[in-house]
Structure 1
Amino acid sequence: MSTVPRIAARRHAASPRRWVSEELFDFWGTRLHPLWTLRRPLARLASRTAESADAVTLVLKPNRHFRGLLPGQHVTLGVEVDGRRLSRSYSPTVLADGRLAITVKAIAGGAVSQHLAHAAVTGEVFELGQAFGEMTLPAASAERLLLLAAGSGITPMRALLRQLDGAGMQGKVDLVYWARRREELCFAEELAAMAERHPSFDLHIALTRDPAAPASRVDAFAFDALGDLSTACTLVCGPGGFVDAAQARLQGQVASLQSEAFTPPVLPEVETGTVQVELRRSGRTLSLPRGTSLLQALEAEGLRPASGCRMGICNTCVCGKVSGVTRHTLTGEHAAEPATQVKLCVNSASTDLILEL
C-alpha cells in the first residue's frame, strides 16, 4: 500500500462519523460552538435592521456545511417558535464576507415572519437548507432583461441586480417594482444608486395604493413606454395573482418569461366538503377539507410534516401517495395515478387518500 492510501485510510478511520452518531456529535458540538455540526447547515443571526415600514433585513452567518447559492435562488430557514419547528423559504443576498442578508416582510398572523421581524435576537441559530430555485440569470448574456417584482418578490431581483452591477450591467435592464405605498419599498436607495451608476439600467416604481400617486397595476402598466420588448428575457416574482396578471399581460410580447409566485393564486370552483385521509405510517385517519393544501390541512390537525418553500419548488414536502385523487392548487389539474409522489404544499385532496406519512 502506498503512503497516500495509508494516510487516507487513517483519516477515514479517525473521522467522527466512524465512532459517533451525527445526532450525538451535533448535540455536544453545538454546546461548544452554536454552529459546530457534523454535516447539518446552520446559520446564526448576526444583525437585524429595519428595511421599510413592514420589512426587516437579517444578516446570517452560515456554517461551513452551507454550499452557497446563485443570485436569485432560495433557502429554507428553520425557526423555532413557541416550541415548534417551523420553516419558510427566503431569497438571500450573499454579502462580500460570505454572510447572507435575508429580507422578511412582517405578515399579520404569520408566526415565522413576526418572530424574525420582532422577536429574534442576535445570536439565535436557525436551520439552513441548501439553495434551490431557477430564478437565476440566463447562462448566455441576454440582449434585454425585464425584471418585474411585487412585494417580497424584490429580494431575488436585488440579488440578480447586484450580480449584474458587479459585472458592469452589460446590456439593457429594466426593473419595474410594485408596492402599495412608497414607505413599503425595500432597497429603494440602493436601487436608485445602481440606476445612477449605470445608464443601461432603468428603475420604474409603481405604487398601487399611494394617495399621492396614480394607481398603477401590472395589468394596466404602460409597458410600451419601455420600448421594444420582443427580445426581452423576462423574470417575474411576487404574489400569485400578480404573477398571473403579468403572464397574461406580456404573453407573446417578450422573448421568454420565467416566474415564481410565493402565494398560490385563488382558483374558481374550489372543491368543498371533506374527505378521509389515511396516514399509513402513523396509523391515523383524518377528516380533511377539500380545496385546502394538504400541508395546511395537516398542520391544522397539529401535524408538522417536513416543508420548505410552500410553493411547490423545493420538494421538501414530497411524500408518497398510495391511492386517491389530488388537485394541484396552482393549475387545477387532477392526479389519480396510484403509487406516486405528491407535493403536500400545492396539492389538495379531491377524494379519500392514503399517504405515506
Structure 2
Amino acid sequence: MSALPRPAARRSSLSPRHWVSEELFDFWAGRLHPLWTLRRARARLVSRNAASADAVTLVLRPNRHFRGVAPGQHVNLGVEVDGRRLSRSYSPTLLDDGCLAITVKKVAGGKVSQHLAQHAQVGEVFELGQAFGEMTLAAAPAARVLLLAAGSGITPMRALVRQMETAGMPVQVDLVYWAQQREAVCFADELADIAARHPGFRVHLALTRDPTAPAARVGDYDFSALGDISSAQVMACGPGGFVEAANTRLQGRVATLQSEAFTPPVLTDAETGTVRVELRRSGRTLELPRGTSLLQALEAEGLRPASGCRMGICNTCVCGKASGVTRHTLTGEYAAEPATQVKLCVNSASTDLILEL
C-alpha cells in the first residue's frame, strides 16, 4: 500500500505577520529596539567623523534584513527632514564589524546632505534600501585596473581599493582622484597607507585649483604617464560632465570602461518650452518644462514622487507612461512607445505625456 501523502506544511499561526500589519509591528517593535522590524532594512548611526573640509563620514549599523553590499554598489538612505521622508543614494564601504561607512559631501541647499553632515545625532535610525549597481570588480581581475574619481565619486572607488587590498592587490591598480584643493580630498591618509603597503597600488592626485600647479582635467589629463593602459579595466565616477569627458577621452583606448555619474550632464541641444503632463492617478494636469528631468520638474511643482539615486540606476522612481514621447537626459535618445515604464530622474518630457502618477 502506498504511503498517504503528507499534508502541506503550514506556516506557524504564531508568526507576527499573521496577526498584525507590518506597519503596526514595526511601529511598536521600534519602541523596544530601533532596528527591530518585520521585513524592512534599517540602519542606526553609531559615529560621525570629518572626512575632509566639506565631507563627513557616517558609520551605520544595519539590522538583519540588510542583505549586504558589494564594493562599488549603492544603497538608498531614507532620511526624515522637517517631517518629510526623503531618500538619497550613497556608495558605502563595508567595515570589518559589519557596519557601513558612507561619506556625505555637504551640498549648498541640499536638505539631506546638510542634515546628515551637520544635524544627525548618534542613535538616529534611517530606512535602508538593498544594494544596487553593477560597477563592481571580480575577486581576481584579469588585467590592471584604472579608477577615475572626481568629488564624491571617490566613495565607491575607496570600497574597490579596499577590496583589492584584501585580495593582496593581485593586479596593478591606479587611482586618479580629481579634487579642487587638497582640503577637499577624502581618505588621503588611508589611501597613502594602502599605497605604502602595496607597490602595485598608486594614487595620483589631480588638484584642479592648486595655486602652485593646477592639474589638467580628465579631458586633457596625460594618461601616458601611467604607462600602457590599453588592457586596463577602467571605472569612472563623478559629476556628469566629468564622466562624459572620461568616456570621450578613453572609449576605444582601453579594454573596458564603466562609468556612473551622480549628476546628469546637460545636453548641448536641450529642448525648450513646456508640455502638458497628465497625472492619471491624482487627476492633475501640469505644464512642465521640456529639457528638465521629470523628477525635478514634478518636485518643482511641489510633488514628491518616490526617488533614490537620481542617476538612473536604482529604479525607485520608475512609473508607467501611458502615452507621449520622452527624452533620455543622459543619451538624448527619444522613446515614443506607449504603455511603457519610464525613469523620472533621467527622462524629460518631449511631448505631452500621460503618467501613471
Task: After TM superposition, give the deviation of residue 18 of structure 1 in Å.
Answer: 1.0
Find the residue that maps to 2:310 and give its secondary structure: coil
Unpaired stretches in structure 1, ≥5 consecutive residues = none
Partner of 1:307 in structure 2? Answer: 307
Find the residue that maps to 1:282 and give its secondary structure: coil
Q: CA–CA distance in 1 between the matches of 2:158 and 2:269?
A: 37
Find the residue that maps to 1:26 and give its secondary structure: helix
Partner of 1:192 in structure 2? Answer: 192
Find the residue that maps to 1:327 and give its secondary structure: strand
Partner of 2:64 in structure 1? Answer: 64
Tell whether 2:176 aligns with 1:176: yes
Partner of 2:232 in structure 1? Answer: 232
Tell me the matched-pair count: 353
Partner of 1:79 in structure 2? Answer: 79
Find the residue that maps to 2:354 and give its secondary structure: strand
Q: CA–CA distance in 2 between the matches of 1:166 and 1:28?
A: 41
Contact persistence 2:178–2:205 (CA under 8 A): yes
Q: CA–CA distance in 1 between the matches of 2:7 and 2:150?
A: 57
Q: TM-score, normalised by structure 1?
A: 0.96
Partner of 2:25 in structure 1? Answer: 25
Find the residue that maps to 2:123 and give its secondary structure: coil
Contact persistence 1:144–1:232 (CA under 8 A): yes
Identity of aligned residues (%): 78
Task: After TM superposition, give the deviation of residue 339 of structure 1 in Å.
Answer: 0.4
Q: CA–CA distance in 2 between the matches of 1:12 and 1:211?
A: 69
Q: CA–CA distance in 2 between the matches of 1:257 and 1:162?
A: 20
Partner of 1:51 in structure 2? Answer: 51
Deviation per CA, 1:96-153: give whole Å up to 9, x if none.
Answer: 1100000000011111111111111111111100000011003652221111111000
Contact persistence 2:79–2:85 (CA under 8 A): yes
Q: CA–CA distance in 2 between the matches of 1:281 and 1:40?
A: 27
Deviation per CA, 1:295-348: give whole Å up to 9, x if none.
Answer: 111111111111110000010100000001111111111111100000000001
Partner of 2:334 in structure 1? Answer: 334
**Counterpart amino acid of residue 189 in structure 2:** E
Q: TM-score, normalised by structure 2?
A: 0.96
Partner of 2:110 in structure 1? Answer: 110
Contact persistence 1:142–1:232 (CA under 8 A): no
Partner of 1:135 in structure 2? Answer: 135
Task: After TM superposition, give the deviation of residue 12 of structure 1 in Å.
Answer: 2.5
**Counterpart amino acid of residue 64 in structure 2:** R
Partner of 1:40 in structure 2? Answer: 40
Partner of 2:16 in structure 1? Answer: 16
Deviation per CA, 1:10-62: give whole Å up to 9, x if none.
Answer: x5321111111111111111111111110011111111111100000000111
Q: CA–CA distance in 1 between the matches of 2:226 and 2:76?
A: 35
**Counterpart amino acid of residue 132 in structure 1:** F
Q: CA–CA distance in 2 between the matches of 1:345 and 1:320?
A: 13
Task: After TM superposition, give the deviation of residue 250 of structure 1 in Å.
Answer: 1.1
Q: CA–CA distance in 2 between the matches of 1:98 and 1:308?
A: 23
Find the residue that maps to 1:13 and give its secondary structure: coil
Q: CA–CA distance in 1 between the matches of 2:328 and 2:252?
A: 26
Tell whether 2:257 aligns with 1:257: yes
Partner of 1:284 in structure 2? Answer: 284
Q: CA–CA distance in 1 between the matches of 2:346 and 2:311?
A: 6
Unpaired stretches in structure 2, ≥5 consecutive residues = none
Contact persistence 1:236–1:246 (CA under 8 A): yes
Q: CA–CA distance in 2 between the matches of 1:49 and 1:23?
A: 33
**Counterpart amino acid of residue 344 in structure 1:** L
Tell whether 2:97 aligns with 1:93: no
Q: CA–CA distance in 2 between the matches of 1:44 and 1:230?
A: 44
Q: Compare 212-221 and 325-334 and name the one that shifted more.
A: 212-221
Tell whether 2:272 aligns with 1:266: no
Find the residue that maps to 1:72 and give its secondary structure: coil
Task: After TM superposition, give the deviation of residue 252 of structure 1 in Å.
Answer: 1.9
Task: After TM superposition, give the deviation of residue 8 of structure 1 in Å.
Answer: 6.2
**Counterpart amino acid of residue 267 in structure 1:** L
**Counterpart amino acid of residue 178 in structure 1:** W
Contact persistence 2:40–2:65 (CA under 8 A): yes
Q: CA–CA distance in 2 between the matches of 1:142 and 1:178?
A: 26
Find the residue that maps to 2:113 and give its secondary structure: helix
Find the residue that maps to 2:101 and give its secondary structure: strand
**Counterpart amino acid of residue 86 in structure 1:** L
Partner of 1:248 in structure 2? Answer: 248
Q: Compare 136-145 and 310-319 and name the one that shifted more.
A: 136-145
Task: After TM superposition, give the deviation of residue 171 of structure 1 in Å.
Answer: 1.2
List structure 1 runs of 4+ shifted beyond 3 angstroms: 5-9
Residue pairs, 1:339-354, within 5 angstroms? 339-354=339-354
Contact persistence 2:175–2:202 (CA under 8 A): yes
Contact persistence 2:150–2:179 (CA under 8 A): yes
